[in-house]
Amino acid sequence: MIIEVEGLRKRYGPRKAVDGVTLSVREGEFFGVLGPNGAGKSTLVEIIEGLRPADSGTVRVLGRPSWPRDLDLLARLGIQTQSSAFFTRHTAREHLRRVAALHRVSSVKADGVLTLVGLDDSADTRVEKLSGGQRQRLAIASALTHDPELLFLDEPTAALDPLARKQLWGLLKSLSDRTVIYTTHHLDEAETLCDRVAIIQRGQIVAVDTPVGLRERTGTATLEDAYLALVAA
């Protein structure tokens, strides 16, 4: 198992953000984390990443506890967040080469990742001039330069227009042989991309299954309908 979470709990004052979560993620899985706003997704994912401590329970990532914070383990993860930071006065290529240098990865490799995410045509464009979709590609590229063993993507299509969102799907699909933890509110995306999804509500797992399994279980035609049936139950 790449990720093993057992009996995880985290509260903020009286609020139980994560309330007894147990789950595991296998190597090569594209694993979706779904749930309403405030359900505890970010808290859960950040605890798994080793960026927040839990109150109790255990988390093992790549076979190691992720807390106390383990910089060697973090170096093996790729993390794209909603607040990904950029070297804004740089071009896309320069930005990625600097990110790569921080990981002691060569410029040649960085340029290869720029190609992989489809940004060759924008390589000389300053980061601040990139479109939302191009910026998300660069954020994903930044999480990929060091060829991480586990990739976390946090709503990479959140602020994109419908066309840019669909265009990003091709890139996301191309990552499907990696192990990816993927947070999204777009159920159509999760249905297309994810091998399995966990639906979280009020800090607890409502269901973990394949999109097909969730549809069958709820007698619905789409993952979106399955999701709505499960979170409304």
Residues of this chain that interact with ligand ADP (CB under 6 A) are 12, 15, 17, 35, 37-43
Cβ 159 to ligand ADP, closest distance in Å? 16
12 vs 121 by CB, closer to ligand ADP:
12
Task: Please say which residue, 136 or 201, places its beta carbon nearer to ligand ADP.
Answer: 201
d(CA 115, CA 12): 43
Query: Residue 12 Cβ, how far from ligand ADP at the closest point, in Å?
Result: 3
Contact indicator for 157, 186 with CB cutoff of 8 Å: yes
Please state the separation of Cα 48 from the chain's center in Å.
11
CB of 141 to ligand ADP, least distance (A): 24
CA distance 23 to 166: 30
Q: How many angstroms separate the CA atoms of 179 and 197, rounded?
A: 13
Closer Cβ to ligand ADP, 37 or 162, answer by number: 37
Is residue 151 within 8 A of residue 179, CB to CB? The reply is yes
CB of 36 vs ligand ADP, minimal distance in Å: 7
How far apart CA 183 and CA 136 sit, in angstroms, is: 14
Q: Output 35 or 134, the one with its CB closest to ligand ADP.
A: 35
